[in-house]
Amino acid sequence: MLRNGLFSLSLLLLLLPLPAVCGELSLASLEVVNGGTAVLRWTGTTPSFGVVRFNEQVVYLYPDRAGAIALLPIPLDLPAGHYPLQGAIVNERGETTPFSLDLAVTHLERPQERLTLPEEMVTPRDPAVLARISRERAQLDELFGQRGLRLWDDFIRPVSERISSVFGKRRILNGQPRAPHSGTDFRSPAGTPIHAMSTGRVVLNDDLFYTGRTVILDHGEGLFSLYAHLSSSQVKAGELIDSGGVVGKVGSSGRSTGPHLHLTVRLLGVRVDPVLLLEALQAQDS
C-alpha cells in the first residue's frame, strides 16, 4: 500500500509540468495606442534567451536590471484590436517556458494640419534634388536596418520646451494629403542645446535635404533617434554619447519654417511616437 502510494506520488511529480524558469512576465500597460510602444518586461532570474512574436515581427528580450525587457513598436496604421503576444523564455539549463499574452491596441485620432509652403519645397522637380533625396533615403534605410548591441539605458526628453506638433499629425501641404508627421516637434529657440534621449552611438551627422543638419543615434537593438533641423553639431560618427549628452543645437535648417527640434524615433524599422516611448520607459523605471 505504502509502496503503491509512493509510486503514485513520483508518477504525479513526473507528469506535473515543473516551472522551468523563475519569474513573471508583464506588460507595462495592457492597452497601447497606435504609434505607441508596448513594454514587455520579464521580472525574475535573467533568462539566457527570450523571444516574442507580435504583428508578424520577432522581437528578442534583452537582459536588464530586473530580468529582461522587450520594446514592441505599434505602427501608426495598425488597426485597433486585440493582438496575441506569443513567445518563450529559456533558462540557463535550456528549459523553455512558453507564454501567451493579449495586447489591446486602441486608436488614437491625431489632429490635422494644413500648411502652405513654396511648391519646390513640397514637390521638388529639379533632377539633381530628386537624385539627392533618393540617395539620402537609401542611406537612411540602410542605417535603420542595422541591429547593434543594446546601448540604451535611462531615457530623457531632449529639450524642455513644449510640443508644437505631435507625432502622426495628418498633414495637408498645399492642398494635398501627405505622409503623417514622422516625429515630434518641440518649439525650442534657436541655439538651445539638444540632449541625447538615451545612450547611443552617432551613426550620422550630415546635412540632408528634408531634415537639414541631422544627427542620428543608434541606441542598439533596432532603436534609433534622429534630431533634425539643427543649426550646428560637433558630434562625430562612431562617437558614443551618454544619455543627456549634447548632440547639437536647435536651428531651422532643411525643410523648416522656423527654429524647432524635430525628433524621430525608429524602433525595429517602425516610426513610433517619441513622447509615448519616453513616457512608457520613464514610467517603467519609477
What are the residues binding Zn ion (CB under 5 A)?
185, 262
Question: What is the biggest distance separating any 2 CA atoms in the chain, rounded to whole angstroms?
Answer: 93
Q: What is the CA radius of gyration of the chain?
A: 23
Contact 214, 194 (CB under 8 A): no
Can you tell me whether residue 2 is helix, strand or coil? Answer: helix
**Residue 58 burial class via C-beta count within 10 angstroms: exposed 0-12, middle 13-18, buried 19 and up:** exposed
Residue from 270, 271, 269 nearest 146 by CA: 269
Helix or strand holding residue 280 (H, E): helix 274-285
Strand-pair partners of 145:
none
- Give the separation between CA 211 and CA 199, rounded to whole angstroms: 22
- Give the separation between CA 183 and CA 203, rounded to whole angstroms: 19
